[in-house]
Chain A
């Protein structure tokens, strides 16, 4: 972790969950800024370790290797799975934590390679939360299926880290894990945190516009870096679990401001899955958003 003084706040940086992570603390007190960053880093690593699908020593691995055997899960895992189940139900099956297996056949490397129709059909046999039995903290999933909490894990880590930091320091702060962020409140001098939103045409090269966030969660869903070209059209990496294909005519990026980062992330994903109707969907929700 590195901690540097920037303007009148401190900026802590580290890497976790395959993303650059930042904690901004509006203070002149290095010790408190340092404490905040360490809390964030520890929590990010804890959640990454516990829920990453790339590890073989955690609950996700046990579930994915269960081969149909019922797996009991701890309370925190149960809460996350419960949340995902609610999202599945609310989105009529569009938000599905079992859709990750489709990535075996989709490579979003900017090329024009798309999988064969038969391959998509085969893999779809192993997609669908309705095939999973989820009750009393016991999960039973048919062999060949996998769950992936990646769609909510990073946002969850942001909100968890923010809650832990708020319990320790009195200062205004902002937690940003790979673009999913939470701001704790007004900065000194009644100023909000100013967040730049990446230009999807030129990722990493500067903000397209800025959003002032005094308090709340902000998340962006988009195809900035991962896409395939099909018949001259650019298809982003968010897959429709029903068709097994990327969402068509989707916006380049959807940014949502909500009460928590988890809500912002879920709303931006659900909006993105609406394709061209993303804007209408978010207007109906009455949340602040930007679509590019």
Chain B
């Protein structure tokens, strides 16, 4: 190419610019349709299998549908069905002798002397969630609704969220509120509190209201690091008791069980939590870490530490190990059982979920694209170990021999498929 004269070369850029301008001028037929990109839809399907060794088994298929419009507004809907079968500790103690457990629904079961009594159940829960999000400039608002129903529980709720960007959109402030109205319909009717679990005294239906308020701020600190802080407060009021849980009455000297009483919980609960989370991007990988502190006026305090590391492999494949540690103190009215003949406390429960416990979760997710398939697959497997103090200090007599809150080993397996069209 002989472009010796600089006059000649200098003219190239100008002429090129004019030619490119003409080339890229709009109005080319056939392009109007491509500019008119309509809404897009994302469909996510997951199947969860969850099993505690010898206890609860949960099968939970969910379908999630998201429709996104080019202007940023979106609709979201999710349908989930849980099929729960298995057994859960009833709250009663090993008897030391053959023990019978009766319940309001008329089931009677016999348990051998040194076993933790369990109540068996089978239930199907259907949950429907949806929301609508609309951004307007620096602001965005989201309204959502929730409905779920199972044999003895129904929940209806609404949420609203509003967020706002500041400081070149590096900082986002979000405020939100939610309201839930739940109904609890114990099978056979509602039993009394700290009374014989076979006697129905209450109404068939019991109401529970849950009000939540939250405020959060997220901030991009550097190109690689983002953090978010959230504070939330939830107030629950109404029937907060677990209808099928009982406490054992034991002989104060021998520790042998003499009977059961229903549990009794306060009718209000005020819960608070603070959450700090961080996302840090390495060259390709991402480190997620969060810490949550929770407390309530039942004296449950908990710490949760959650760490995930997403490691990018070749061909849109990733591996994400997950580690979570959770520990909580027991509620002030948590008892392993009640002593026969002693004055009844104002409130009492022996539901292990309100006792002191810790859980450790270890797992990993693999995400990939199957050859010849349009969507993305993910497979997650997790182990959850739950540890409690099985030998509480206030246990008496024969109860000291037993591990009252044995370690529970759980495995979960989730297969997900995500497809956009």
Chain A: residues with CB nearer than 8 A to chain B? 1-2, 6-8, 13, 28-32, 34-35, 38-39, 42-43, 46, 74-76, 79-80, 82-83, 86-87, 90-92, 94, 156, 159-160, 163-164, 167-169, 188-190, 258-260, 262-263, 266-267, 270, 273-274, 281, 284-287
Asked, given contacts A38-B40, A164-B35, whether A267 binds B168 with beta carbons under 8 Å apart, the answer is no
Further 17 A-B residue pairs, CB within 8 A, beyond A34-B68, A79-B28, A169-B70 = A7-B281, A31-B68, A46-B34, A76-B30, A79-B23, A86-B16, A92-B1, A92-B2, A159-B24, A164-B31, A168-B37, A168-B70, A188-B168, A188-B169, A267-B12, A267-B16, A284-B6
Min distance, Cβ A93 to any Cβ of chain B, angstroms: 8
* Cβ–Cβ < 8 Å partners of B19 in chain A: 82-83, 86-87
A90 and B24 contacting across the interface, CB-CB below 8 Å? no
- Could you say which of A6, A79, A83, A274 contacts B1, with CB atoms under 8 Å apart? A274
A83 and B23 contacting across the interface, CB-CB below 8 Å? yes
- Could you say which of B20, B29, B68, B316 contacts A260, with CB atoms under 8 Å apart? B20
What is the bound-complex CA distance between A159 and B20, given in angstroms?
A: 10
B23 and A31 contacting across the interface, CB-CB below 8 Å? no
* Cβ–Cβ < 8 Å partners of B23 in chain A: 79-80, 82-83, 156, 262
B168 and A285 contacting across the interface, CB-CB below 8 Å? no
**Interface residues of A, dominant DSSP:** helix
Chain A CB within 8 A of B55 CB: no
Asked, given contacts A31-B69, A39-B37, A87-B19, whether A285 binds B10 with beta carbons under 8 Å apart, the answer is yes
* Contact indicator per residue, chain B 113-126, by CB within 8 Å of chain A (1) or not (0): 00000000000000
- Could you say which of A91, A156, A167 contacts B35, with CB atoms under 8 Å apart? A167
* Contact indicator per residue, chain B 92-112, by CB within 8 Å of chain A (1) or not (0): 000000000000000000000
* Cβ–Cβ < 8 Å partners of A92 in chain B: 1-3
What is the bound-complex CA distance between A29 and B169, given in angstroms?
A: 11
Question: What are 21 residue pairs bridging A and B, where the CB atoms are less than 8 Å apart in the complex?
Answer: A7-B223, A28-B169, A31-B74, A32-B72, A42-B37, A74-B29, A74-B30, A75-B28, A79-B22, A82-B22, A83-B19, A83-B23, A86-B15, A86-B16, A87-B19, A164-B35, A168-B70, A188-B168, A189-B170, A263-B16, A281-B9
| CB closest chain-B residue, reference A167 | B35
What is the bound-complex CA distance between A275 and B84, given in angstroms?
A: 73
Interface size on B, as a range, is: 35 or more
* Cβ–Cβ < 8 Å partners of A2 in chain B: 316, 369, 376
* Cβ–Cβ < 8 Å partners of B35 in chain A: 164, 167-168
B37 and A38 contacting across the interface, CB-CB below 8 Å? yes
* Cβ–Cβ < 8 Å partners of B37 in chain A: 35, 38-39, 42, 164, 168
* Cβ–Cβ < 8 Å partners of A267 in chain B: 12-13, 16
Q: How many A-B residue pairs have CB under 8 A?
A: 141
Min distance, Cβ B277 to any Cβ of chain A, angstroms: 14
**Interface residues of B, dominant DSSP:** mixed
Min distance, Cβ A242 to any Cβ of chain B, angstroms: 9
What is the bound-complex CA distance between A94 and B9, given in angstroms?
A: 13
B223 and A1 contacting across the interface, CB-CB below 8 Å? no
* Cβ–Cβ < 8 Å partners of A266 in chain B: 16, 20
| CB closest chain-A residue, reference B67 | A31
B17 and A6 contacting across the interface, CB-CB below 8 Å? no
Chain A CB within 8 A of B172 CB: yes
What is the bound-complex CA distance between A8 and B228, given in angstroms?
A: 13
Asked, given contacts A42-B37, A262-B20, whether A270 binds B168 with beta carbons under 8 Å apart, the answer is no
What is the bound-complex CA distance between A8 and B420, given in angstroms?
A: 23
Q: Which of B361-399 contact A (CB under 8 A)?
A: 369, 376
A286 and B22 contacting across the interface, CB-CB below 8 Å? no
Interface centre among B20, B42, B72, B281 (most CB of A within 10 A): B20
Chain A CB within 8 A of B135 CB: yes
What is the bound-complex CA distance between A233 and B28, given in angstroms?
A: 45
A163 and B22 contacting across the interface, CB-CB below 8 Å? no
Asked, given contacts A31-B72, A92-B3, A273-B1, whether A76 binds B13 with beta carbons under 8 Å apart, the answer is no
What is the bound-complex CA distance between A213 and B52, given in angstroms?
A: 55
* Cβ–Cβ < 8 Å partners of B2 in chain A: 92
A284 and B9 contacting across the interface, CB-CB below 8 Å? yes
What is the bound-complex CA distance between A86 and B13, given in angstroms?
A: 12
What is the bound-complex CA distance between A30 and B70, given in angstroms?
A: 10
* Cβ–Cβ < 8 Å partners of B420 in chain A: 1, 34
Chain A CB within 8 A of B226 CB: yes
| CB closest chain-A residue, reference B369 | A2
Min distance, Cβ B379 to any Cβ of chain A, angstroms: 17
| CB closest chain-B residue, reference A285 | B13
B10 and A13 contacting across the interface, CB-CB below 8 Å? no
| CB closest chain-B residue, reference A93 | B1
Chain A CB within 8 A of B292 CB: no
Min distance, Cβ A195 to any Cβ of chain B, angstroms: 14
B20 and A263 contacting across the interface, CB-CB below 8 Å? yes
What is the bound-complex CA distance between A82 and B168, given in angstroms?
A: 43
Chain A CB within 8 A of B287 CB: no
What is the bound-complex CA distance between A2 and B376, given in angstroms?
A: 8
B22 and A83 contacting across the interface, CB-CB below 8 Å? yes
A8 and B68 contacting across the interface, CB-CB below 8 Å? no
Interface centre among B37, B172, B369 (most CB of A within 10 A): B37
| CB closest chain-A residue, reference B2 | A92
What is the bound-complex CA distance between A169 and B169, given in angstroms?
A: 16
* Cβ–Cβ < 8 Å partners of B220 in chain A: 7-8
What is the bound-complex CA distance between A90 and B16, given in angstroms?
A: 8
* Cβ–Cβ < 8 Å partners of B223 in chain A: 7-8
Interface centre among A32, A91, A94, A258 (most CB of B within 10 A): A32
Chain A CB within 8 A of B26 CB: yes
* Contact indicator per residue, chain B 31-45, by CB within 8 Å of chain A (1) or not (0): 100110100101000
* Cβ–Cβ < 8 Å partners of B172 in chain A: 28
Min distance, Cβ B35 to any Cβ of chain A, angstroms: 5
What is the bound-complex CA distance between A167 and B35, given in angstroms?
A: 8
What is the bound-complex CA distance between A173 and B26, given in angstroms?
A: 20
B72 and A163 contacting across the interface, CB-CB below 8 Å? no
Chain A CB within 8 A of B301 CB: no
B68 and A90 contacting across the interface, CB-CB below 8 Å? no
A259 and B17 contacting across the interface, CB-CB below 8 Å? yes
Chain A CB within 8 A of B353 CB: no
What is the bound-complex CA distance between A8 and B11, given in angstroms?
A: 41
Chain A CB within 8 A of B73 CB: yes
What is the bound-complex CA distance between A82 and B24, given in angstroms?
A: 12
Min distance, Cβ A70 to any Cβ of chain B, angstroms: 21
What is the bound-complex CA distance between A282 and B16, given in angstroms?
A: 13
B135 and A29 contacting across the interface, CB-CB below 8 Å? yes
